[in-house]
Chain A
Amino acid sequence: MAALVALCIGTTLLLLSVMIWWNFQELLNGKSDDSDSLGSSFLTISKNVTDAKMGKPQLTIFSSNEIEEMRYAPEVQDVGVLTSNRFNVYATLNSALNFSTDMFLESVPDRFIDKKPVDWYWQPSNREVPIILSTEFLNLYNYGFAVSKGLPQLSESSIQALGFDLKVGEGDLQQTYRAHIVGFSDRIASVLVPDSFMAYGNRVFGHNAFSEPTRLIVKVKDPSSKAFVQYLQTNDYTTNAEQLRWSKLRSIVEVVTGATGLLAVLLMALGALVFILFIELTIARAQQSITLLLQIGYAPGYLSRFMIKKFFPLLLATAVISMGIAVLVQMGIANWIKVMHLSLPAYPGWPVYVALAVSTLILLSLVAVSIVRAIRNTD
């Protein structure tokens, strides 16, 4: 019994460590749209504005060649263009407050938006324009501007309730839209409108000759990769280095799961050893009966098969229990991790089943060999 419990614990730990490893892999390399994955970092890349480039905005734009080249840069998984407005935008926050300002807008392809709101779309007939604001801008306002000016601090929900007017274009070509902030982004430090609005605005109200972008958003597998950093330096590109902290976390996680896995393998080996000793003890206790059975004509092979049939169900039951625990834990983790706006499958993935199958096969063959050997050695 004790042997079975030890084995069960060992197997469960093995499965859990494989599961932890696999879960981190899922999180690190996950491709789900509606959640952040730790694995890929999104970096906004622009060209360094140096003294020599000042006053020459055409030197900071990305040509289509450069964008294409970026797609094949090391570690890069996806490249998107941050399109900025080439028309005048004038925002009036509430006529009563009389707060108004010139502003800029940008847009990115929808797949680069971290938390895409449900009403994130626009078509020319719409009078309302949804806006995603950078969380950093809100923080700047709340902790910098509002405090120093004695203005009220605003929560995300109160800002979303506020509407303001966007005056777009100038002269005869002017149009006023109603704008609403529908969401906040941690990923892109900008004021974002849907791509369709930006395209329409630039076509209808646009005046500026430059059509190429100055900022790119790039999905990178591992931003700490030397090749990628080298690529940025060679081309004199600049990015937000803060994103690189994930890569450190990632290597820590890999070390931790590696250590857990090693521990689990050791524990499982210990469990298997205890179980095999238990079998040998059982056979030693039954030595007299086995000897007598051999003496009245039973074949060693028959007795081995009989013992194997007796012990295998116990081992299989252990495997099933361990798998059950692993499934429950996975469901628990999947539930728990939702709170952190991450998502994981509700059931363990194939590496867990493979680990179970391989460890069970090894265990069964070890047990079979030890039974056959113990009976062969009985006279």
Chain B
Amino acid sequence: MQLFLQDLVPIPLRDKVNASRSDIWKRERTFNQGNCIFIQAPSGTGKTTLIHMLYGIRKDFSGMLHWDTYNIASISKDDLSQLRAMHVSVVFQDMRLFPELTTWENLEVKRLLTNSVAAEDVERWLQRLGLGDKKDSLAGTLSYGEQQRVAIIRALVQPFEWLLMDEPFSHLDKANTDLAIALITEVVQMNRAGMILADLDDNDHFFYTQKIAL
């Protein structure tokens, strides 16, 4: 699946975008499946806005944003859920788990939607990220670091061609970050997927094919 952007401008950030230089805003860009993109974005440049626009949560933009034939500006609700369930997965900056469900239930809600990953695999991934004993804890009671790891696993329990990540390791220490990176790398390769990671500071968590400034 190919991502195509042209003259993209988020309407609330129009003035700011016009005043500064960006590799994304107001440009024409094409990202091919399998690309590993890092977007460096200092605070306030619209990093989360961009991720939300790519994921179809925000439509208050001008310009073109296409995932293959899916045009985000005019996509129907059913197509959007299809895109999210089968093609593009996301790790939100604010995690967005169901606080009243347990860790395991949060993952099952996502897993059962497509049933493309075995429950045993998910259980193993939980162990790998050190969450084996948090399986039955309510997500609302988990620490941010734990929630972030659950959110990462949740993003992996579906088929995807692109993985979007918005500051995915912001609450993790070095050791846990490395564990997460290893898991993500493995699953992304398994899916032959591309990835877009947006963060504040430069890093070399993955072998990026492109580094872009927002």
Give chain A's interface residues, CB within 8 Å of chain B: 289, 292-301, 376, 379
Residue A298 contacts which of B57, B98, B113 (CB distance < 8 angstroms)? B113
How far is A296 from B114 in the complex, measured between Cα atoms in Å? Answer: 11
**Nearest chain B CB to A325 CB, angstrom units:** 37
- Contacts A300-B77, A376-B77 hold; do A295 and B96 have CB atoms under 8 A apart? yes
Inter-chain contacts of A297 with B (CB < 8 A)? 81, 84-86, 110, 113-114, 158
Contact with A along B143-177 (1 / 0, CB 8 A): 00000000000100010000000000000000000
- Contacts A292-B96, A293-B109 hold; do A299 and B82 have CB atoms under 8 A apart? yes
Q: Is the CB of A296 within 8 A of B77?
A: no
**23 interchain pairs, CB-CB under 8 A:** A289-B98, A292-B96, A292-B98, A293-B109, A294-B77, A295-B55, A295-B57, A295-B84, A295-B96, A296-B110, A297-B84, A297-B85, A297-B113, A298-B81, A298-B85, A298-B113, A299-B77, A299-B78, A299-B82, A300-B77, A300-B78, A301-B78, A376-B77
How far is A376 from B80 in the complex, measured between Cα atoms in Å? Answer: 13
Inter-chain contacts of A376 with B (CB < 8 A)? 77
How far is A296 from B57 in the complex, measured between Cα atoms in Å? Answer: 11
- Minimum CB distance partner of A375 in chain B: B77
- Minimum CB distance partner of B110 in chain A: A296
How far is A289 from B154 in the complex, measured between Cα atoms in Å? Answer: 16
Inter-chain contacts of A300 with B (CB < 8 A)? 77-78, 81
How far is A289 from B57 in the complex, measured between Cα atoms in Å? Answer: 15
What 10 additional pairs, Cβ within 8 angstroms, besides A295-B55, A297-B114, A298-B85?
A292-B96, A295-B96, A296-B110, A296-B154, A297-B84, A299-B81, A299-B82, A300-B77, A300-B78, A301-B78
- Minimum CB distance partner of B160 in chain A: A297
How far is A298 from B83 in the complex, measured between Cα atoms in Å? Answer: 10
Inter-chain contacts of B81 with A (CB < 8 A)? 294, 297-300
Inter-chain contacts of B114 with A (CB < 8 A)? 297
List which B54-81 residues lie within 8 A (CB) of chain A: 55, 57, 77-78, 81
**Nearest chain A CB to B191 CB, angstrom units:** 15
Q: Is the CB of A296 within 8 A of B78?
A: no
Give chain B's interface residues, CB within 8 Å of chain A: 55, 57, 77-78, 81-82, 84-86, 96, 98, 109-110, 113-114, 154, 158
How far is A293 from B77 in the complex, measured between Cα atoms in Å? Answer: 13
Inter-chain contacts of A289 with B (CB < 8 A)? 98
**Nearest chain B CB to A307 CB, angstrom units:** 15
How far is A298 from B109 in the complex, measured between Cα atoms in Å? Answer: 10
How far is A172 from B94 in the complex, measured between Cα atoms in Å? Answer: 121
How far is A296 from B85 in the complex, measured between Cα atoms in Å? Answer: 7
Among A289, A297, A298, A376, the one with the most B-chain Cβ atoms within 10 Å of its Cβ is A297
Inter-chain contacts of B78 with A (CB < 8 A)? 299-301
Among B55, B77, B98, B109, the one with the most A-chain Cβ atoms within 10 Å of its Cβ is B77
How far is A376 from B76 in the complex, measured between Cα atoms in Å? Answer: 11
Inter-chain contacts of B57 with A (CB < 8 A)? 295, 379
Inter-chain contacts of A292 with B (CB < 8 A)? 96, 98
How far is A289 from B82 in the complex, measured between Cα atoms in Å? Answer: 19
- Minimum CB distance partner of A302 in chain B: B81
How far is A300 from B82 in the complex, measured between Cα atoms in Å? Answer: 11
The 5 closest A-B pairs by CB, nearest first: A297-B85, A297-B84, A299-B81, A300-B77, A296-B110
How far is A294 from B83 in the complex, measured between Cα atoms in Å? Answer: 11
Inter-chain contacts of B98 with A (CB < 8 A)? 289, 292
- Minimum CB distance partner of B81 in chain A: A299
Inter-chain contacts of A294 with B (CB < 8 A)? 77, 81
**Nearest chain B CB to A116 CB, angstrom units:** 72
Residue A296 contacts which of B82, B84, B86 (CB distance < 8 angstroms)? B84
Inter-chain contacts of A379 with B (CB < 8 A)? 57
**Nearest chain B CB to A258 CB, angstrom units:** 46
- Minimum CB distance partner of A379 in chain B: B57
- Minimum CB distance partner of B80 in chain A: A294
- Minimum CB distance partner of B84 in chain A: A297
Inter-chain contacts of A299 with B (CB < 8 A)? 77-78, 81-82, 85
Inter-chain contacts of A295 with B (CB < 8 A)? 55, 57, 84, 96
Inter-chain contacts of A301 with B (CB < 8 A)? 78
- Minimum CB distance partner of A303 in chain B: B81
